[in-house]
Structures are given as C-alpha cells and as structure tokens.
Structure 1
Amino acid sequence: MADKSNFTVPLGISAAVHIGAIVVLALGVSFDDKPKPMPVAASAPIVEAVVIDQKMVNQRVEELKKQREDAARKEKARQKELERKAQEAKKARELEQQKIKQLEAERKRKEQETKKANDAAKAAKLKQQQEKEKAEKAEALRKQKEQEKKAAEEAAKKAAEKRKAEEAAAKKAEEERKRKEEAERKRKAEEERKRKEAAAKAQREQEMADALAAEQAALSKARQRQVVSEVQKYQAMIRATIQRNLVVDPSMQGKSCRVFIRLAKDGFVIASQTLDGDQVVCRAAKAAINKAGKLPVSSEADVYEKLKEINLTVSPE
C-alpha cells in the first residue's frame, strides 16, 4: 500500500503538467494568422486583364509579398513561441521527470529506509533474541560455573578432610610404627639381654656341667673300676657257691661247661641254661645251681645290672 501511494502523487503531477502544456500551446496558436487567400479577380474577359495597370500589379505583388513576409514573420514568431513553449514544456517535463525521479528516488530511499528500518527492527529483534539467548546462556553458564565452583569447593573440602584424615592416619600409623619399632627394639634388646644372660648362664651351666661331667667321669671311672671289682668279686663268690654245690666225678677232671644264669635282685636264680661244654660237667653245674637256689648278689644297682644276667664257666677243681 505504501508503494502505490508513492507512485500516485508523481503520476498526478506529471499528467497535470502535460495537460497544461497542451492548453497553452492550443491557446497560443492564432488561427487568424493563416495566410490570407489571394483575392481572386472577378471573372473578366481576358481583354480587360491586358489593360490592367502595371502599377496596380506591382502594388498587389508588394502587398502579397508583404503579406507573405508578415505571415512568415508571424509564423516565425509563432514557431519561436512554440519552440519557447516547447522548451518550457520540455523543461517542465524534465523538471517533472526530475521531480518524478526525485520522488522515485525518495520512494526508493523511503523504501530502503523502511527496509532498513524493518531490517534494523528484525536485526534488533534478532539481536534482542540473541542477547536474550546469550543472557540465558550466560545465566546458565553462570549457574553451571557456580555449581561447578560449589562442587569444586565441596570436592576441595572433602579432599581437605580426606587429606587431614590421611595425614591423621599417616601420623597414627607413623606413631604406631615408631611404637612398634620401639617395642621391637626393646624386645630385641630384651631378647639380646636374655640371650646374653642365657648364654652366660648356659656357659656357666656348661662350665658347671663340664666340671660335673669331669667329676662324674672321674667318679664314673672310679665307680666303674669299683663296679668291675665288685662284679669280679661277686662272680667269684657265685662261682665258689656253685663249686661248693657241684658233685665232682673223676671223669670230669680237666673239663668245663659254660652256663647262663639270670638272677633276681635278692640273688634268687630265675633261670639257668647250659651253653656249651662237657655234658657231664654241664649237668653237674646245672644241678649245683638249682641246689644253691640263691646266689650271692650286690645290693648296689649298678653292680646288680652287671650281675643279673651272667655267663660263667664251671670247671671241677
């Protein structure tokens, strides 16, 4: 609608200018200026024309010439006036065209301005929308950053608490380690002390044991000698007892029998057995042992151990 109104005004002005020019041109033309027709002489006989005065002819020629000149001058003036009016009309048209161009340019300018305004409004609206979106994004980003900051602060707080807990645990562990190290050091020191004491005690005991062993060895040797002596003594006594109870036959002279005897602690004969030798001597020896029933034996345990099972050789004297 704005474009149609912009074209209506220039077109109306242009039409009015053209109509005015046409009216001016029409009013400026004088229809009386047309060349007057030459007077036509009345039909007369040719004879009369011959006698027409040359002066009148010349005068008429001059009049006609003057009329033509006047007509030509008027026509020239009219043409000049027409040219002037045409120039004015041309100038008016040019002015009108210029005005139309100006109006068209103004219309285009206004159209461009309108377009620019619309574009500016659209751009402003778009910018406003973009700024709104930007603001919303900025607000969302701010909230996100605030949440991230809050989360980071919470994480930092938790990390600090965790670090403190770890430091406390590490300190406690270090103290526990030092306590254990100290306890281990004390334990090792106590063990070393006990080991040294035990070593010293063991050394003393070993020295005492060695001394006792030496003493026992000496005593043992002495006792062994004594036991051997006692065993030999009791063996002789046992052999003498058997000899007393032995029934000797002359055929037994120079012969012997080896016998095995097991004795109780009181000397009672638990068992006897001939091992080898002359059978007569062996029977006589076995009968003598059974007859005795009890043989001499020492009350000392170590001497008895050597006498509880003995092998003797019986030879008739």
Structure 2
Amino acid sequence: MSGKSDLTVPVSISAGIHIGVIVILALGISFDDKPKHMQTAASAPAVQAIVIDQQKVSERVEQLKKQKQDALQQEKTRQAELERKALEAKREREREQEKIKTLEIQRKQKEAETQKANDAAKAAQVKQQQEKERALKAEEVRKQKEREQKASEEAAKQAAEKRKQEEAAAKKAQEDRQRAEDERKRKEEAERKLREEAEKKRQAAETKARQEREMAEAMAAEQDSLSKTRNRQVLSEVDKYKAMIIATIQRNLVVDESMRGKSCRVFIRLAPDGFVTTAQTLEGDQVVCRAAKVSINKAGRLPVSPEPAVYQQLKEINLTVSPEFN
C-alpha cells in the first residue's frame, strides 16, 4: 500500500503536464494563426491552415492520450508487480514467522527434553550416591563382622587350647582316680579272701552263710528300690540341665528373620565343670548352625550338674537349636 501511494503523486503530475501541453498547443495555434483584417477572397487559405493545424493538434492530443494510457498501463503493471511482490514478501514473512514459531516450539521441546534429561541425570546421580553409601555401609558391616569372626575364632582357638589343657588335667585326674579305684578293689579283694578264709575256720559257717544270704537279698532289694528312685531323679535332673543348656545357647544366639522356622542339630561334649570341649553341627539350616556354634563358643561354659550320674548323661549330648522370636 505504501508503494501505491508513492506512485500516485508522480502520475498525477505527469497527467497534469500532458493536459497543460495540450491546452497550450490549442491556445498557441489560435493566437499564432489569428487572421488579419483582409479581404474576403483571401480568407480561404487561412481557414484551410487552421483546419490543418487543428488536425495536428488532434493527432497530437491522441498521441498524448495514447502515451498517457501507455503510461497508466505501465504504472498499473508496475503497481500490480509491486503488489505481487508485496504479497509475496508478506507471504514470505508469514512463512518465516511460522518457521520461527516452529523453531521456537522445537527449542522449547528441546529445552524441556534437556531439563528432563538433566533431572534424570541428577536423580541417577543421587541414586548412585545412595547406592554407594549403602555399599560403603554394607562393606563396613562386613568388615565389622569379619573382625568379630576373627575375634571369635581367636577366642575359640584360645578356648580350644584351654580345653586341651583341661582335658589333659581331667585325663590325669581320671587316671589317678582309676589307680585309686584299682587299689581299692585290690584291697577289697584281699580282704574278701581273708574273710573267706576266716569264715571257713568258723564252726558256724552254715548259719553265717544263711544270714549273709538273707542280708544280701535284703540289701539287693533295697538297692534296687534306691536305684529306681535314683534313676528317676537323674532323668529329671538331666531334663532340667538340658533345658538350662538350651536357654544359655538361645540367650547368646544372634537371630534374624531368615532363621524363622528353621533349626540345627548340634553335638556338644562337656568337661565336668561345664566347659565346652567339643561343639559340632550335625544337620540343619547352615545359617542357624553357624549362629548356634558361635553362641556355644561365646558361652564357653554350659550348666552341668555336680552329680556324677547326671553329668554322665550330659557330658556328650545332641541338642536341637531353634531360633526364638519375640
């Protein structure tokens, strides 16, 4: 529209100039060829000259009109070309603006994708850091358990050495007791022989023999009664000390949820004072077995009865360890 306005003024000026020229020519012909006062007979050539000049003017006017029309046509063509170019430029601008909008949308999408990727990277980094911290913590726990295991093994080694010494001492004491028992039996045997010899010499051997048989029968009956009562007492004591031993193991047993419903059978050999000389796992869950063995080694000593008969029942026992949960 701006280009069209700029062309309106020159076209108007050009048209005005052409019209002015035509008017001047028309007027000039009239003034230059104005006839003088002459005789009537001589006026015919002048009229002819005026007619001829008027024809030239008309031709000139037509020529000027044609030039004007050509100029107007050219101007219209130029205006149409300018409008076409302006329309094309407008369309090009619209295409550029559309392209810019598309690029802006793509840029925002890329920014969103970049932000999303950055957020994901940050989340991954945080997760990696958390996993690293968990791994470090797990490694520290593992090292701590390893240290505890080494300490336990060292303690078990020392305990084993101590058990060996105690077993050697117990063996020596047993040998001493056996020698004393053998000596006692030898003396009893010698005394018995002396009594038999003395009894043979006695005149009332038959009466004495009968009395001795009666006494022996009575003592045997009494001993049998005492033995049955003693056996019941021993069995009751054995059950009680077994329960105490299991309670001691449970007290030192380190449990976790993976042990629930599982168990382990163990073999234990005890010294007379309750010191654990042997602890072996027989069968069962490996985790429970390891925990049970550690618990037994940690206890070191287990409850035993001072009664020899009860100790004989408990010095080598098989137990079933089942973790207890509160």
Bigger Cα Rg: 1
Shorter-chain TM range is: 0.3 to 0.5
Scaled by the length of structure 2, the TM-score of the pair is 0.37
